[in-house]
Amino acid sequence: MDAPRQAPTAAPKKVRAPKEPQDEIMRHTVQAKAPGLDKHHPPSPDAHTVTVPSMLTADDMAYGGNMSHKKRPSEIPILDGQGGPSLVEGQCLGESSARPNSPPPASRRQRSQTARIVPVQAVAECDDPPAPPPRRNSRGSLTGGTTSIQARVMAAAAAVVPPALGAGTMQREQLLPAAAGQGVAMKVDGHRATVTLSKNGLSWSYESTRCCCIPSVHSESVPFTEMLGAEVLPPLAGMWRLPGTRLHRLVVWTFRRMVHSPAAWQPRQLTLECPSEETLQDWLQRIHAAVAQQHRRPRRLLVFVNPFGGARRGKKIWDTVVRPVFDKAGIKCTAVETQHGGHARALLTSMPSDELAGYDGVVAIGGDGLFHEIINGLMELRSVATGTTLDQQQWAELQLHLEETAAADAAAAAIAGGPVAQAGQAGGAQPPAGSQQQASGPLVRGSSFGLPSGPQHQRRRGGHQRLGSIAASMRVGHIPAGSTDAVACTLNGTRSAFTAAMHIALGDACPLDVLRVDEADGRHAFATCMLSYGFMGDVMVESENYRWLGPLRYDVIGAKMLAANRSYRVRVSYLPAQAEQLEAAGKVCTAGCDLCRLGQEHVRLQSAFREVSSRSLATRRSEWVHVEGDFAGIMLVIMPCRSEKSQQGVARYGHRSDGLIHLVMVKKCSRLQYLRFLLTLSHTGLAAGEHGFFTVVPAVAVHVEPVGAKQSRWNADGELLATNHITAEVHRGVIEVFARGVEV
Ligand SMILES: Nc1ncnc2c1ncn2[C@@H]1O[C@H](COP(=O)(O)OP(=O)(O)OP(=O)(O)O)[C@@H](O)[C@H]1O
């Protein structure tokens, strides 16, 4: 088959420099001189400072905000006007009207982290053979057009020293043209380049010249794992493009990492231009096939949108950011606009098992409250099936046991002449003398608390087994559209809705710890961020009356509560973490965190949810530590809880899945001391240990009983609990979320 007459770009003799801002080239050249010294890839995770950029900007408008969906409000899969909880099928990929827009102009700051520069010296030494004419392979693709730039690239690629990028490094390495073989001359985002489609993805190299004298070769790559999808577009028409000289276009939907905040991704519409439509169609098929092989990507999602969360941008974020991303990834969605608090939870728990089984995951577009609702709905289904909550009898036994051991501890301390564990000795991670003896008391020996074997649970279990295991296999995603968005900040390191949507569409998965809270009145709740009593509870109670202030309400009411300087008398009992659980103490949780990967073992195992309980409450009943006193605040922190207000996290060394509760006890103190505590929490985060008037203890279970008439309220992930007398126990990695941790 003859090569088409118009294929002049296949073997350019002279490569024109891409039009880039000069300072951009300078920056990258400097970067190339010191490979591995990129400050965004520090060698040790201990040195990491995880910051949460405030990002909910125009960049969040995925792939251009003027998507055609905006013009079709009738298709937005939101509730019907009747107010009933109808589920409406979302319109998804394949809609003929979903045409891509022209690529947004790359801003000066937007550079992919995969871009590499090879100093000119490495390039200049290679031989530059005369370029043979391009020819076609059996599939009709243009090949063999070894250009001068390609020869340079081949030699130069070997000289590239890759930075330590973690798990993705090898994959990107294999994408370099030198490793992948022959490339095809194309235009990539308007730059002439040699492009290769290897088994791992796309890679390309192009030459640029700075000030007419310092040429350098750039290499970039996009692995299939980072592609949403692709589409071939007809050539751009126009009187300056004569028929036959027009270039066909292949658009690849992906993202780029920002150099200064790699966790916050930006939409990227990669455009490859080439005169041969066959080549592009062939590549399109190969990209589709490779993307389809990513088996962890979701195919159907149930999406809840809270229209009143945060600045009331939930619906807009769904329309302009999330839906375009899901469309490009070919994900079918059922979107529900919540009508009232508790709506999402009620829908989940009342859904027939066959319907729930049709989804690969549930997504919350809202604040932490909506995410909390979804977790509670799923965990309720699981706990009913397994009976992993304390029933009334078990609660009574635990209560009796704790009262007896606390009294014995106090008596033993009095005999030994030591101080009784009161507020002020709150930090002792070691059980006080005497607690071991109490372990063998007859009442304790017969106790069954923590063992989910009650007849009530047995009865319930039969009918709910299937629902429980479906709920256990459900992944949960959070698209930030609330006031605090600590979940998204902790999981993704950013409040960018686009980034969160990409993590979901790419099928990222990591385990998350869940705190099970049993209340004295027989209710149960689940939390993933933080449970707080005292100051934070009071702020929550008050700020609900000031919702009209938006996110500002927390600051205003926080100042009011600081001035009030309240304290509450409580009895805290806790099971301290065991030595082997503290191995990773002092390590910041980031993407690829080893400790959290261990938590992965528990994910999807419905039995894991049950086992944890019996392991800690029932088998370690001799190890409870008791503290009683006046406290300004008690906090049970489960994950790092990063947010714009606490960029290092409330628990600096907390993890997504370490199986620990970071129990924070702040004694009654002066306003100034409490302000100091809040500043520590906000600036550096809290670390385990005694800190004068406050203590942080790693624990696995905590029991708190208010003593006295004056009481605060428990705030569980921003929602108020009905009762103040609680037992909380952490379940390691029992929920899987659409995330990979904070990329640094
Ligand atoms: N349509 C609705 N009307 C009123 N309340 C709702 C509605 N949908 C959900 N809710 C409830 O609103 C509460 C707060 O929602 P959400 O957490 O999404 O926003 P936020 O409180 O502003 O953000 P954050 O929790 O991050 O501070 C949740 O308890 C949720 O159950």
* Residues 432-438, mean pLDDT to the nearest whole number: 35
* CA–CA separation, 590 and 44 (whole Å): 11
Q: What is the dihedral of CA 130, 132, 134, 138, to 10 degrees?
A: -140
311 vs 571, more confident: 571
* Residues 536-549, mean pLDDT to the nearest whole number: 87
Instruction: Record the pTM.
Output: 0.74
Query: Could you tell me the pLDDT band of residue 248, with boundaries at 50, 70 and 90?
Result: confident
Q: Are 126 and 147 contacting, i.e. CB atoms less than 8 angstroms apart? A: no
User: Tell me, what's the pLDDT at 15?
Assistant: 37
Judge whether residue 691 has pLDDT over 70. Answer: yes
Q: Which residues contact 491 (CB under 8 A, 6 or more apart)?
A: 478, 500, 503, 510, 512, 656, 737, 739, 741, 742
Q: Which residues contact 24 (CB under 8 A, 6 or more apart)?
A: 108, 111
Probe target for ligand 1 pocket from 370, 553, 555, with the most ligand atoms within 8 Å of CB: 370
Q: Which residues contact 343 (CB under 8 A, 6 or more apart)?
A: 85, 304, 336, 373
Q: What is the dihedral of CA 427, 433, 438, 439, to 10 degrees?
A: 70
Probe target for ligand 1 pocket from 308, 545, 548, 644, with the most ligand atoms within 8 Å of CB: 308
Q: Are 373 and 342 contacting, i.e. CB atoms less than 8 angstroms apart? A: yes
Domain parsing of the chain, residue ranges = 8-66+101-292, 421-431+514-744
Q: Which residues contact 340 (CB under 8 A, 6 or more apart)?
A: none
- From 34-43, 364-373, 453-462, 696-705, the region with the lowest mean pLDDT: 34-43
Q: What is the DSSP string of 223-237?
A: EGGG--EEEEEPPPP
* CA–CA separation, 323 and 331 (whole Å): 9
Judge whether residue 113 has pLDDT over 50. Answer: no
* Residues 322-336, mean pLDDT to the nearest whole number: 96
CA of residue 241 to ligand 1 center, whole Å: 53
Helix then strand then coil, in percent of the chain rounded to 5, is 35, 25, 40
Q: Which residues contact 240 (CB under 8 A, 6 or more apart)?
A: none
User: Tell me, what's the pLDDT at 417?
Assistant: 63
In ligand 1, the atom with minimum distance to the C-alpha of 373 is 31
Residue type, 149: I
Judge whether residue 30 has pLDDT over 50. Answer: no
Cβ atoms within 10 Å of 240's Cβ, excluding its own:
7
CA of residue 52 to ligand 1 center, whole Å: 22
CA of residue 305 to ligand 1 center, whole Å: 10
User: Tell me, what's the pLDDT at 282?
Assistant: 92
Query: What is the separation of C-alpha 373 from the centre of its chain, rounded to a whole number of angstroms?
Result: 17
Can you read off the two tokens belonging to residue 189?
Answer: 């985002």
User: Tell me, what's the pLDDT at 728?
Assistant: 94
Judge whether residue 322 has pLDDT over 80. Answer: yes
Please determine whether the domains at 8-66+101-292 and 421-431+514-744 fall in the same fold group of CATH: no
Phi, psi dihedrals of residue 43, rounded to the nearest 5°: -70, -35
Query: Could you tell me the pLDDT band of residue 458, with boundaries at 50, 70 and 90?
Result: very low
Any ligand 1 atom below 6 A from CB of 337: no
The CATH T-level fold of domain 421-431+514-744 is Tumour Suppressor Smad4 (2.60.200)
Q: How much is the ipTM here?
A: 0.97
CA of residue 510 to ligand 1 center, whole Å: 25
CA of residue 367 to ligand 1 center, whole Å: 6
Which residue, judged by its Cα, is nearest atom 3 of ligand 1?
Answer: 340
CA of residue 306 to ligand 1 center, whole Å: 6
Any ligand 1 atom below 6 A from CB of 367: yes
* CA–CA separation, 658 and 635 (whole Å): 17
| C-alpha torsion sign, points 53, 58, 63, 68 | positive
Any ligand 1 atom below 6 A from CB of 484: yes
Can you read off the two tokens belonging to residue 702?
Answer: 């905590």
Judge whether residue 134 has pLDDT over 70. Answer: no
Question: What percentage of the chain exceeds 70 in pLDDT?
Answer: 64
- Nearest Cα to Cα of residue 500 among 363, 373, 651: 363
Q: Which residues contact 328 (CB under 8 A, 6 or more apart)?
A: 63, 93, 228, 229, 253, 505
User: Tell me, what's the pLDDT at 445?
Assistant: 35
Half-sphere exposure at residue 102, Cβ-oriented, CA atoms within 13 angstroms: 4
Judge whether residue 649 has pLDDT over 50. Answer: yes
Can you read off the two tokens belonging to residue 277?
Answer: 């439509």
**Mean pLDDT over the full length of the chain:** 73
Any ligand 1 atom below 6 A from CB of 450: no
499 vs 411, more confident: 499
* CA–CA separation, 22 and 545 (whole Å): 54
CA of residue 369 to ligand 1 center, whole Å: 5
Q: Are 147 and 194 contacting, i.e. CB atoms less than 8 angstroms apart? A: yes
Q: Which residues contact 137 (CB under 8 A, 6 or more apart)?
A: 143, 144
Phi, psi dihedrals of residue 188, rounded to the nearest 5°: -115, 115
| Entry field: residues in the chain | 744
Give the residue ranges of DSSP H helices in 506-546.
535-543
- Nearest Cα to Cα of residue 634 among 731, 566, 555: 566
Query: Could you tell me the pLDDT band of residue 610, with boundaries at 50, 70 and 90?
Result: low
Express each pLDDT in 42-95 by its tens digit. 334 444 555 555 434 444 555 644 333 333 333 333 333 333 333 343 333 223
- Nearest Cα to Cα of residue 63 among 269, 258, 264: 269
User: Tell me, what's the pLDDT at 158?
Assistant: 36
CA of residue 321 to ligand 1 center, whole Å: 20
* CA–CA separation, 278 and 139 (whole Å): 8
Give the residue ranges of DSSP H helices in 506-572.
535-543, 552-564
* CA–CA separation, 18 and 418 (whole Å): 76
Express each pLDDT in 251-265 by its tens digit. 999 999 988 888 999
Q: Per residue in 485-500, is it b (16+ CB within 10 Å) or e — as a string? A: bbbbbbbbbbbbbbbb
Which residue, judged by its Cα, is nearest atom 30 of ligand 1?
Answer: 341
Greatest CA separation found in the chain? 100
| Residue 124: strand, helix, or coil | helix
Q: Which residues contact 138 (CB under 8 A, 6 or more apart)?
A: none
- From 25-39, 524-538, 576-590, the region with the lowest mean pLDDT: 25-39
In ligand 1, the atom with minimum distance to the C-alpha of 342 is 31
Q: What spatial distance separates the first Cα and last Cα of the chain, rounded to whole Å?
A: 50
Query: Could you tell me the pLDDT band of residue 423, with boundaries at 50, 70 and 90?
Result: very low
Given phi > 0 = left and psi -120 to 50 = alpha, else beta, which region is 305?
A: beta
Looking at domain 8-66+101-292, its CATH architecture is Roll (2.30)
Tokens 């087994």 belong to residue? 465
Any ligand 1 atom below 6 A from CB of 434: no
User: Tell me, what's the pLDDT at 712?
Assistant: 95
Q: Beta partners for 528?
A: none
* CA–CA separation, 726 and 714 (whole Å): 9
- From 145-154, 213-222, 552-561, the region with the lowest mean pLDDT: 145-154
* CA–CA separation, 195 and 202 (whole Å): 7
* Eight-class DSSP state of 318: I
Q: Which residues contact 353 (CB under 8 A, 6 or more apart)?
A: 466, 467, 470
* CA–CA separation, 189 and 107 (whole Å): 13
- Nearest Cα to Cα of residue 262 among 56, 453, 98, 112: 112
